[in-house]
Structure 1
Amino acid sequence: MSKVILHIGTEKTGTTSIQHLMSHNRQALLAKGVLYPNLGARKDAHFDLVNSVHPLDNGGRHMEFLGPVTQPSCFLWDKLEECINEHPNKTIVLSAEHFSSRLREKALKYINDFFNKLDIKPEIIIYLRPQADYIESSYSTEIKAGSPKVFKKVMEQYQSQAFRYDYKQLIDLWADFFSKDSIKIIPYEKSSIGDDIRLNFLSNIGVKDISGLNLSKAKLNEKWSNPMLEFARLANARMKDITGQERLNFFAFAQELIDTKLAIKHTQLMTEEQYKEVVSFYRVSNDALCKEYLPHRSDLFLDKLKTSPFRDSESTASLTHFDFMKIVYEIFKRNQK
């Protein structure tokens, strides 16, 4: 019988790197007994599989960043069933961080019923990132996607996003539909995953021999400095007519200018007080999760705080308006050549 592994996220835990590795090594992995199936228009990850059941928990809406859905909700799940039946004795790996970030009770019941029908008990892998890091990284993604939101607004909202940042609630939800012993929780920190999240993932899906795999790293989700994030935020609010590749080129040149012409002080987005507030808010929940699901660990997260300094204060500017105009002027000069 086929073995099925669901890699459900969470977001901002190296999922893109994992999916790039898996999708670019399909044939080599198949030779090792691991199938990473093509399901839907997206070839890197299984977003379309998630999207097909997304409406069940989201007012009938599909995921906004994917193309129009033309098939019924069961279409891709039927394709998955065919894939499972055609590959007995293989380990079938499905990966999409939106399994955890977008789906709730109705979709999880659908998925559970699907695997029960096939008499399969899927194994679930989920990586969890320290909440303060996750909040900062999520904010960065929002800005890259076009948001003009200030970081202060994020700090006003994070406590209400239970299934995103309260890992106990998220894991308990999945445990309601899948047995607790089928859920593998891996803290997203160096002491748990090592230097390369991809190697950790391969080990956890049973691939011990990495010979024949292409492990070259693509430039994925490059981290922006705080001044670059602030420049992009201001640009998002003022330059809504710049879209697509033109927007990407604009920000790529702006990043080059910011890195070369400004004296960047690398800091976290949070102040020390904000960081302590986040850690304190999730302490009880994290401890309860650790006690119930990871009893061999003393704490959910063991590694020390990152070395980059905290932001001096909430009002400390990451980028002054003068520097913003300076960068815009440099871009203007380039376009005049």
Structure 2
Amino acid sequence: MTQRKRLVLHIGSHKTATTFIQGSLVKNQDVLKSHGIIYPRAGQIYDAHFRLCWELRDPKFADLPLTEIGEWARLIEEIQSSPATTAIVSSEEFGLLIAPERLAPLRELFDIQVIYYLRSPDAHLESFYNQFVKDFGTRETRTINHYLAEERLGFLDTRTVLEPWVEVFGARQVSLRIFSRQTLPNGVLQDFLETVGVRQVQGLKSPDVSVLHKVSLPPDALEYLRYANQSLTREQGHHPFVVSLVQMAGKHGDELQTTRAGILSLKSRKTLRFRFADANRWAARTLLDSDRSPFPPRDVPAPPEDFDQRPETADAHVIGRVAALIQNYTSDVA
């Protein structure tokens, strides 16, 4: 009798090093294959399986079974024809934009494991906002407090996100991992591989530099870009520009800490944890066998010590200083 293969669906969440994990999986496919794992090429773009999600959102495929949808049909064939016993499919869009009922037929073909990394609401929001400022498609121009006041923040409602996956695949098939330095002492990639069942992996290659686009900018650099977003109208060149800004900030991070841009106050952090405590307690009870919320408000980390003395927004002096740092960095690497 042929052994059923396992399909691991890594569904997010956003801002939990998903891009780093995906880039690492692409870079280390030989290592994965030595452990009986493939990271399929079907449906892949930008190192993730976004095309699979895009097809599921396309109305013309709404009534078709997965086996009759282009990338999905190729994915199933690639997995079934591979000698590997496990396949990993990864896209954070699964966790927000896809109804898992569409994927229910996969249960007839594979043993399913769903992996989801959960970050504290306050850290998640700060990182998510930072990314919205950096991405060309969003080019956020509001301050983080303005953003917080106007948005519903549904992506922080863990129960709304995960309960449909539990209903379709069962709680035992959903692996919930807490994303924090305390819970991931060996790093998120090692934790991910161990969750899949691979232990003691040595010599892993780092992903390409393009993943730096996902690294959070320090306050003053973020504020520089937020102001620039009002005039950035050309998508071409935007990604490498942000990558170079992140690289510059990596060298001058201590000099870019004069504003509170992108940083929540202590009270805002606690309020966010209270706001989503019930949803996170449900996740802990359902998937971690615990009645304790993984993110108690009393444990919220404080903002920088000088937070109250920092201005919320940058003045011309700060913007000019960041511009000078960019120019100096560009000259150094030219």
Could you tell me the TM-score, scaled by structure 1's length?
Answer: 0.81
Q: How far 1:117 sits from its partner (Å)? A: 3.9
Which amino acid counterpart does residue 165 of structure 2 have in structure 1? W
Are positions 1:317 and 2:315 aligned together?
Answer: no
What residue in structure 2 maps to residue 87 of structure 1?
82
Could you list the structure 1 runs, at least 4 aligned residues long, displaced by more than 6 angstroms after superposition: 329-336
Alpha carbons 1:187, 1:301 under 8 Å: kept: no
- Cα distance in 2 between the residues matched to 1:314 and 1:174: 45
Separation of aligned partners in 1, 2:20 and 2:242: 25
- Taking a change above 3 Å as real, the CA distance of residues 295 and 331 of structure 1, as seen in their structure-2 partners, is closer
Distance 1:206 1:260, change over 3 A: closer
Cα distance per residue 1:7-40 (max 9 Å; x no partner): 1110101111111111111122112101111013
136-145 or 264-273: which moved more? 264-273
Could you give the per-residue CA deviations for residues 213-245 of structure 1, whole angstroms, max 9, x where no partner exists?
Answer: 4243654323211111111000111x2245432
**Cα distance in 2 for residues equivalent to 1:314 and 1:332:** 28
Partner of 1:214: 204
Matched, 1:291 2:285: yes
Structure 1 residue matching 2:182: 3-state secondary structure: helix
Alpha-carbon distance, 1:307 to partner: 5.8
> Which of 42, 56, 59 is the aligned partner of 1:53?
56
Match of 2:127 in 1: 137
What is the DSSP-based 3-state SS (H/G/I as helix, E as strand, rest coil) of the residue aligned with 1:192? coil
- What amino acid does structure 1 have at the position aligned with 2:223? E
CA-CA distance at 1:283 after TM superposition: 1.6
Q: Secondary structure, in 3 states, of the residue corresponding to 2:283?
A: helix
> Match for 1:21 among 17, 24, 31?
24
The letter for the 2-side match of 1:168 is R
Matches within 5 A, 1:60-79: 74-79=69-74
Structure 1 stretch displaced more, 294-303 or 74-83? 294-303
Residues 114-136 of structure 1, C-alpha deviation per residue, up to 9 Å, x if partnerless?
Answer: x1342x23110100000111111
Query: Are 1:236 and 2:239 an aligned pair?
Result: no
| Aligned twin of 1:166 | 157
> What's the CA shift string for 1:118-174, capped at 9, x where partnerless?
2x231101000001111110000010012223212321144x233x11101211121
Q: Return closer, same or farther for 1:280/1:50 CA change in 2, 3 Å cut-off.
A: same
**In the aligned structure 1, how far is the partner of 2:48 from the partner of 2:207?**
17
1:127 aligns with 2:121: no
Choose which of 12, 21, 37 in structure 2 pairs with 1:9.
Answer: 12
Code of the aligned partner of 1:25? N
**Counterpart of 1:128 in structure 2: which amino acid?**
L
Cross-structure match for 2:64: none
- SS of residue matched to 1:185: strand
Where does residue 151 of structure 1 map in the other structure?
A: 144
Greater mean deviation of Cα atoms: 134-143 or 239-248: 239-248
The gaps in structure 2 that reach 5 residues or longer are 62-66
- Range with bigger deviation, 222-231 or 320-329: 320-329
**Which amino acid in 1 is paired with 2:271?**
E
Aligned residue pairs total 315
Q: Using structure 2 for the length normalisation, give the TM-score.
A: 0.81
Does the aligned pair in 1 maintain the 2:218–2:253 contact within 8 Å? no
Gaps of 5+ in 1: 62-71
Shift of 1:248: 3.7
Aligned partner of 2:186 among 178, 195, 203: 195
Task: Give the corresponding residue for 2:173.
Answer: 182
**Identity percentage over the alignment?**
19
Question: Contact 2:11 / 2:115 at 8 angstroms: preserved in 1?
Answer: yes
- The alignment's C-alpha RMSD in Å is 3.5
Aligned-pair CA distance for 1:301: 3.3
